């Protein structure tokens, strides 16, 4: 087998991951891009409102998809392009979740997919202070001009995976994962009528609010409440990008910090309150995006992370949006 896979990237209309409005796909055979496809679409009915923050990120508006097929109607074409390929995505927990939630709220079954998360592989194989797509693409030598254009983001993801395989002398995904001592993760087939809905879909359908209103608290002046540090869930999925990480939060978060700690611990992370030699991930609030690492708009904790990274500590910075995507939250994600 050669280095064969399909890279995928979704953009969503609102904070609910089951609201896809665009998808980009890049097919790779033998380590070379051989085909590409992209579609605009209407999100599933009832989840098709466009929120300001999402539009600001990707520029797609409701009028741009008016008259287009809905995600559920278009998925047979998307699925046919993917075929039996392994899927690659940058933060695969999000993009695989889009497929699952989008099909669930459309009342449709979904196929099984083996998948690769290039965020996880970037952590393993690069040494970056941020593993967001622009930083990882730059390290891989992949042009990324129009970030959040789904087609371009999928192409960048493919380039990152090709570069990482090359650095590890791997001629296939199986060889790459074997060389890194990893097990290829899998999203199993599902039928919402038989298996029930995923947590994200349940929250949206039950009125938790696809704009995340139930998760967002008003701004409160003063020092954010830290709350206790929960014990990591020993039964969490090891392929999740937060599994095994030691996570610290800084800045004002839309989600209360104790809730953020609980949700990270559920996914196998160890939340702590201070940046130390154990810290591997710092989540930064206050509207931070990965580009701020270059502009210098940083909290004291973030500056501390840069110092530790420069000294060789394996530590990275996430925007709150990137974190919320990873935990299945509703906020949009600049800098993914």
Question: What was the pLDDT predicted at 336?
Answer: 52
pLDDT computed for residue 59 by the predictor: 95
Query: What pLDDT, in 10s, does the model give residues 241-286?
Result: 999 999 999 888 878 889 999 999 999 999 999 989 899 999 988 7
CA dist 76 and 73 (Å) reads 7
Q: Read off the tokens for 32.
A: 């070379």
Q: In the structure, what pLDDT confidence band is assigned to residue 293 with cuts at 50, 70 and 90?
A: confident
pLDDT band at 296 (very low <50, low <70, confident <90, very high): confident
* Confidence category of residue 219, pLDDT binned at 50, 70, 90: very low
pLDDT surpasses 90 at 12: yes
Task: Name the region of 310 (left: φ>0; alpha: ψ -120 to 50; beta: rest).
Answer: alpha
Check residue 330 and report its DSSP letter: S
Measuring CA to CA, how many Å separate 203 from each of 68, 169, 198, 283?
Answer: 26, 43, 9, 24
Going by pLDDT thresholds of 50, 70 and 90, the confidence category of residue 216 is very low
CA distance 163 to 260: 33
pLDDT of the residue at 301: 78
Residue 135 has pLDDT above 60, yes or no: yes
Predicted confidence band of residue 220 (pLDDT cuts 50, 70, 90): very low
For the stretch 302-322, pLDDT in tens is 788 888 888 888 889 898 888
Centroid of chain to Cα 149? 15
pLDDT band at 208; cut points 50, 70, 90:
low
């Amino acid at each position: 087998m050669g280095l064969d896979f399909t890279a995928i990237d979704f953009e969503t209309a609102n904070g609910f991951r089951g609201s896809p409005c665009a998808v980009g796909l890049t097919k790779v055979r033998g380590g070379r891009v051989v085909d590409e496809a992209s579609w605009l679409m209407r999100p599933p009915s009832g989840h098709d409102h466009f929120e300001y923050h999402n539009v600001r990120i990707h520029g797609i508006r409701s009028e741009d998809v008016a008259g287009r097929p809905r995600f559920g109607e278009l998925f047979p074409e998307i699925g046919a392009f993917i075929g039996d390929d392994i899927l690659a995505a940058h933060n695969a927990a999000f993009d695989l979740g889009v497929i699952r939630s989008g099909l669930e709220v459309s009342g449709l079954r979904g196929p099984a997919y083996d998948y690769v998360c290039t965020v996880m592989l970037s952590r393993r194989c690069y040494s970056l202070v941020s593993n967001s797509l622009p930083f990882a693409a730059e390290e891989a030598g992949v042009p990324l001009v129009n970030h959040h254009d789904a087609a371009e983001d999928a192409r960048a993801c493919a380039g990152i995976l090709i570069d990482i395989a090359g650095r590890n002398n791997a001629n296939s995904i199986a060889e790459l994962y074997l060389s890194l001592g990893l097990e290829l993760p899998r999203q199993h087939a599902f039928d919402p009528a038989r298996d029930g809905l995923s947590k994200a879909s349940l929250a949206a359908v039950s009125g938790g609010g696809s704009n995340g209103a139930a998760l967002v608290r008003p701004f409160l002046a003063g020092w954010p409440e830290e709350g206790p540090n929960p014990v990591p869930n020993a039964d969490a999925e090891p392929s999740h990008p937060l599994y095994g990480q030691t996570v610290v939060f800084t800045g004002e978060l839309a989600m209360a910090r104790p809730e953020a700690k609980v949700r990270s611990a559920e996914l196998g992370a160890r939340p702590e309150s201070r940046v130390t030699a154990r810290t591997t991930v710092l989540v930064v609030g206050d509207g931070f995006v990965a580009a701020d690492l270059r502009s210098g708009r940083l909290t004291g904790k973030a500056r501390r992370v840069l110092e530790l990274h420069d000294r060789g500590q394996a530590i990275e910075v996430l925007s709150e949006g990137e974190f919320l995507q990873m935990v299945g939250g509703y906020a949009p994600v600049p800098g993914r």
